[in-house]
Structure 1
Amino acid sequence: MTSLRLRAGFVLFGLILMAAVASPAAAFKVTGSFTGWWDQPDEQNHGLIIAISRLPGGDQTAVVFWAHYNDSGSPTWLLAQGPLRDDTIEADLFQVRGVNFMQASGTRPDAEERIGTFEIVFENCDRGEVSYTTELPAVGAGGFAIQRLTTVPGMECSGGVSDNVPPSAPPEKFEIDLDPTPDYPDAQGEAEWVMRPGSAEFEIEIEDVQPGEYSVVVGGEERGTLVAVMDDDDDDWAEGELEFRSPQRGDKPLLDFDPRGQSIEVFLDGELVLSSDAPEEGTPVGEGKGPGFGGQEIEVEMTNSGVYSDGEASAELERERRLVSFEIEVEDIPVGEYPVWVDMTEVGVISVELDDDGDTEGELEFRFPLTAGYPLLDFDPRGSLIEIVEGDTTLFFVDFPSSGDDSNSDRPGHGGPGGKGPGPDLEIDFDLPNEGVYPDASAEAQYEIDEDGREFEVEIDDVPAGTYTLTVAGVERGDIVAVVDEDDDDGFNAEGKITFSDPRDSDDELLNFNVRGESIEILEGGTVIFSGTFPNR
C-alpha cells in the first residue's frame, strides 16, 4: 500500500485542476467512473484527484490526493486511501514527511504518517461533500463541497454496476428458477441477469401468487418492492415483475448491486415465498449466434405505428469480411430513451437528442466482433421482428428481411431497399373484458404479423343486432355491424367483426395505427360494452 501511495503521489502531485466536463447524474454507488479530477468550487485552486482501483484480492479501493496550500501559501498535499461503501469513500488520511526531491526509493520507509480521516459522500456523479479530521493544527477538522471536472474517456457514470464493466468484457447472462417454500407450493418465479459492456439488467418475475407487495432481497439486503396484481387470464392468482437497469432507464430502479453468487429471496409480509442462489458467473451470450461475416447489406424503412406521425426510423445490417454491424436510426420524435426489441426481447436503448439544427435524432449500432464504444452484436436480426418502443407502445416496427435479394420488397415494414425476408410470425389474441351491459356477450381481438403483412381483427358475439363503434387509443377506427347468427335458435343474439390490414386487402380497412399496448373499447351509442388494454406481446 505504501508503494502504491508514494508512486501515485509523485506522478499526480502538482497537476493543476482542469476545465469542467459534463457527465451523467444520479449515482448511488461509487464505481470506477468516479475516477477523475474534482474541484472545490468554494475554495481558490483547491481540489481532489480521485482514483478508484481494484486490489489484488478483488476489493475496490479509493486513493485520493488533496491538493491545497499551507499557511505560507505554498502548494502542498495530503493523501487518503480507503474502501468504498455504497455512495461513500471512507478513507484514512496520511501525510508524507522527510522526503526530498528525487530521493531514492526505500531510504525513508516510515515517511507516511496517518494523521486523520477523510470521508466523501457523493450526491450524484457530479457532486459530493467531504468531511475530514486531522491532527494538524493548520488543517484541523472541517468539510467542503466538490464537483467533477473530468471523466474517464469511454466510461459512462451511472453509479450502477455497469460502470465497472470494461469494454473488452464478454457479455454474459444467467436465468434461474426461484423455488417455492412449502407454505406457497403453487408460487413460481424466475430471475434473469444480463451484462454487456456499458449495460446490465436484472429482472425478477413471479406468478401464481397472492396479490400484494413482495420484498426482493439479494445477498441479504432488501433491494426493492415487487407488486403482484391479478392476472387477466387467471382469476385465482396474481403475477408481477421488478427490473433493475444500469444505467438507469425510465422508472426502472438503478442496478447498483451484483446478484452473481448471491442468494435471491422474495418475501410477503416477512414470510419467505421464493428463493434460490445465483451462480457465481453467467454463461457467455451470443457465441456463434451473430449473423457472421460476409458480403451483404440490407437496409429497410421501419413502419410508423402512428404515435408520432412525423417520425421516421430505419434498420441496416452490413456484413463485411472483418466486421458486422447492425444499426437502427430514428428521427423526428420527442427527446428521450427508447428501448429496441428484437423478437420481443430488449437488446438496447436509443437515446434521441436534439441536433444542431433543432431536430431530434438518435441511433444505436451493434458490432461484431466486440468494438470499443459499441454493444456486441450477439443476435442475428435477419428474419426477426424489430421494434422501437415507448413504455408498452410500439412506435416503429419491421419484419427484418432474411436476405437482400428480393426486389419486390420496397413497402414500409416489410423490407424496403435491399430485400424482403419471410420475417417471424407473431400472433396475439386478447379477450376483451365485458363491462356487464350484456353479461353473456363476448369479444375477441387478434393482431397478427406474417410474411404477407399485418392484420388486426375484432369480433363480437352474443350481442343484440346493431352497429357498434370500435375505438383504439381513444380514436374511432370503424363500426362493427352485428347481425343475427343463423344458427342461433332464439334469434336474439348477433355477431359481427371488423378487419384491418396492411397492406390493405380488398374487403378490409387500412391498418395505419398502433394496436399493441393501446386501450380498446367497443361502444353501443355512448355506452361501453367491452374495454381493455391490448397486450404488447
Structure 2
Amino acid sequence: MKYYRWLRGSLTGVLLMALTMNVFSAQLMVTRAFTGVWEQVNHESQGLDLQVIAQADGSNVAVAYWYTYGNDRKSAWYLGVGHIVDDKVDFELYHSKDVGFMQNGMPGDDSVTPIGTMTMSFHDCNSGTVTFNTSHDEVGQGSFEIGRISNVMNMHCTGGISDNMGGMSMYGQRRIDLLPARSDINGSGHARFEAYAGRGVFEVKTEGLPDGTYHLYVGEEDRGMFDVVGGIGGLEFASPAETNKPLLAFDPRGLQIRIHDEAGAVLSSFEGVFEEGNYGHHGDYGHMYDCSYGNQMGGWGWMGGMGHMSGMGGMGHMGGWGNMDYCVQEGDVIEINANMTSTGQINGARGVAEWDMATNHMGFSVEIDNVPSGSYPLMVDGIEVGIIEAYQMMHSGVYGRIMFRDPQTYGGYYLDFDPRGQTVEVMQQGGGVILTVDFPTE
C-alpha cells in the first residue's frame, strides 16, 4: 500500500473532517460526493478512482478506473461504467490491451473488450465493499474492502439527495395532495418536497386517518413506518440528516406517493407527482424569463393561487401594467434600485429596495439600517408580504434584509408579487410607516 499510504497521509485532514461530520440513517444513496480515490484497504498500492457524472439527459452514471497489478507484477488497470441503484453501483468491466506507450490514436475501440461485472456497495461515505466476477484468467472473481482517501474540494458527503444539489441549481418547494384511495377512508394528507443548493426535505403529513401504524411508499419502495395518534401522523426526511429526521437518501420526484395500512393503500397522490429534474441552467426552468422562450410570466404561469397577487385587483394576466418588461434576452439583466424615504418616525432610518430579472430568475429585496433592533413588517401595495428582522451587527450598526426570489432559494422567500409601480413601505410593529417609496417601473 506504499503509494496509497503516501496519498492517504497527504490527505489525512480531509478524511478526518469527513469522518467526524457524517451522520447516517440505515440507508444512503450514491451521489456525486462519492467521487474520489478509494484504496483497497487490505492490498498493496491498489484501488479505484470513482467518478459520478451527469449525462445530457439528466441521469447520473458512474465511471471507475481500477488500478491493480497482473501476474507479471506490472501495473494493470480496468474500466467500469455503471448504473447507480441506491447505495450501490453496478458496473460493466472492460479491459484494454495491445496498446503501446504514447501510441497514436486509432479509429474504433477494438482494443477495449468487456470482461465481466463489478459492484461497489457503500457502507457510508468513507467505506464499502467491491465484488467482481470476470472471465479474465488473472482477475477471476472475488471481493475486497475499500476506504476513501480523497474527495472533491469543498464537497461534503452526506449520502443524501442534497449532495446532488449544486450551487448553480434552482429548486424551491412543491406540495401535492394525498387523497383517499379506498371508499372506506375519509382522511387526507399532503406531501411536500423542498430542495435548495445543499439541502433537501421531504415530508408527508396525514389527518383524519384511524389511529394505528402506517407505511409510506414512494414509488414501489417502502420508505418507513409512522404512527397516527389522534388522527394525525407523518414522516419527515432531511438531507443532511437532522435530529429526529432520517436521511433523505432517495429522490421522490417523478414517483407516486402512497400511505398503506395492512389492507393496502389508504391515501395516494394518484397522478400527482413532484416534477423530475433539477430545473437548473439546462432545464426549462432555467429560461423562465427568457424572451426567446415566449413571454408567459415566467414561473408565475404555474404558481397556482398567485399568493399575494390575489389582493392586487385583477392581476391574473397582469392587465393594466403598461409596457413593463416580463422577459429578457439571454445574458441580459434588468435592475431597478430605489432609495426609500424616511417618514421621520425613526430618526435617521434608511432603506433601499432592489428588483432584478435575468432569464433564469426574478428577485426583490429590501434592506434597512439605522433603526432599533426588532421586527419590521414589509408592505407592498398595502399588503404585508414579509417581516424584516433587524439585528445589531458585530462591527457596525443595526441592519436587516429580506429577500424574495422566483425560483425560491435557500434563505429567501418565494416571489409571488410584482413590486414595480407599487408603494413599498416598511412599518413599525403595531403600525406606523417608517420608510416608503413608490417603486419605479423601469
TM-score scaled by length of structure 1: 0.51
Q: Secondary structure at the match of 1:130?
A: strand
Deviation string 1:394-450 (CA, Å, 9 cap, x unpaired) is: xxxxxxxx97xxxxxxxxxxxxxxxx95289xxxxxxxxxxxxxxxxxxxxxxxxxx
Confirm whether residue 245 of structure 1 aligns to residue 279 of structure 2.
Answer: no
Quick one: distance in 2 between partners of 1:75 and 1:423? 76
1:379 aligned partner: 413
**Correspondence list, 1:80-91, <5 A:** 80-91=80-91
1:28 aligned partner, one-letter code: L
2:260 aligned partner: 267
1:170 aligned partner: 170
1:280 aligned partner: 275
Quick one: distance in 2 between partners of 1:174 and 1:120? 33
Q: In 2 relative to 1, CA 206–249 (structure 1 residues): closer, same or farther, beyond 3 Å? A: same
Q: CA deviation at 1:293?
A: 5.2
- Within the candidate set 369, 380, 393, 1:296 is matched to 369
2:34–2:52: 8 Å Cα contact kept in structure 1? yes
1:218 aligned partner, one-letter code: V
Quick one: distance in 2 between partners of 1:376 and 1:298? 26
1:264–1:278: 8 Å Cα contact kept in structure 2? yes
Quick one: distance in 2 between partners of 1:263 and 1:252? 21
2:364–2:405: 8 Å Cα contact kept in structure 1? no
Q: CA deviation at 1:190?
A: 1.1
Quick one: distance in 2 between partners of 1:82 and 1:204? 32
Deviation string 1:76-95 (CA, Å, 9 cap, x unpaired) is: 21111111111111112111
Q: CA deviation at 1:51?
A: 0.4
Q: Secondary structure at the match of 1:162?
A: helix
Superposition RMSD in Å: 3.5
Moved over 4 A (4+): 15-18, 281-291, 297-302, 314-318, 366-370
Identity %: 30
Q: Secondary structure at the match of 2:162?
A: helix
Quick one: distance in 1 between partners of 2:166 and 2:154? 10
2:405–2:413: 8 Å Cα contact kept in structure 1? no
Q: Secondary structure at the match of 2:33?
A: helix
Query: What is the number of residues matched between the two proteins?
Result: 307
Q: Which moves more between the two structures, 179-188 or 160-169?
A: 179-188
Q: Secondary structure at the match of 1:121?
A: strand
Deviation string 1:339-370 (CA, Å, 9 cap, x unpaired) is: xxxxxxxxxxxxxxxxxxxxxxxxxxx98989
1:296 aligned partner, one-letter code: D
Confirm whether residue 78 of structure 1 aligns to residue 151 of structure 2.
Answer: no
Quick one: distance in 2 between partners of 1:56 and 1:289? 26
1:159 aligned partner: 159
Deviation string 1:92-126 (CA, Å, 9 cap, x unpaired) is: 21111122223233346211111122111100110
Quick one: distance in 1 between partners of 2:400 and 2:66? 45
Q: In 2 relative to 1, CA 273–299 (structure 1 residues): closer, same or farther, beyond 3 Å? A: farther
- Within the candidate set 11, 18, 42, 1:19 is matched to 11
Q: CA deviation at 1:240?
A: 0.8
1:376 aligned partner, one-letter code: Y
Q: Secondary structure at the match of 2:163?
A: helix
Q: In 2 relative to 1, CA 118–174 (structure 1 residues): closer, same or farther, beyond 3 Å? A: same
Quick one: distance in 2 between partners of 1:200 and 1:34? 18
- Within the candidate set 245, 251, 255, 1:258 is matched to 251
Q: CA deviation at 1:19?
A: 2.5
2:367–2:400: 8 Å Cα contact kept in structure 1? no
Q: Secondary structure at the match of 1:243?
A: strand
2:429 aligned partner: 422
Greater Rg over alpha carbons, structure: 1
Quick one: distance in 1 between partners of 2:144 and 2:169? 37
Quick one: distance in 2 between partners of 1:423 and 1:249? 36
2:79 aligned partner, one-letter code: L
Q: In 2 relative to 1, CA 263–116 (structure 1 residues): closer, same or farther, beyond 3 Å? A: same
Q: In 2 relative to 1, CA 258–146 (structure 1 residues): closer, same or farther, beyond 3 Å? A: same
1:229 aligned partner, one-letter code: V
1:187 aligned partner: 187
Q: Secondary structure at the match of 1:176?
A: strand
1:5 aligned partner: none
Q: In 2 relative to 1, CA 131–279 (structure 1 residues): closer, same or farther, beyond 3 Å? A: closer
Q: Which moves more between the two structures, 264-273 or 87-96?
A: 264-273
Deviation string 1:502-526 (CA, Å, 9 cap, x unpaired) is: xxxxxxxxxxxxxxxxxxxxxxxxx
Quick one: distance in 2 between partners of 1:175 and 1:249? 21
1:444 aligned partner: none
Q: CA deviation at 1:198?
A: 0.5
Quick one: distance in 2 between partners of 1:247 and 1:263? 23
1:34 aligned partner: 34
Q: Secondary structure at the match of 1:76?
A: strand
Bigger relative contact order, structure 1 or 2 (CA pairs below 8 A, ≥6 apart): 2
Quick one: distance in 2 between partners of 1:184 and 1:260? 29
1:325–1:377: 8 Å Cα contact kept in structure 2? no
Quick one: distance in 1 between partners of 2:171 and 2:195? 6
Q: Secondary structure at the match of 1:191?
A: strand
Q: Secondary structure at the match of 1:201?
A: strand
Flag structure 2 segments of 5+ consecutive residues without an equivalent. 1-5, 280-284, 286-298, 308-356, 376-388, 394-398, 415-424, 432-442
Quick one: distance in 1 between partners of 2:29 and 2:237? 14
Q: Which of the two has greater helix per residue?
A: 2
Q: Which moves more between the two structures, 121-130 or 174-183?
A: 174-183
Q: Which of the two has greater strand per residue?
A: 1
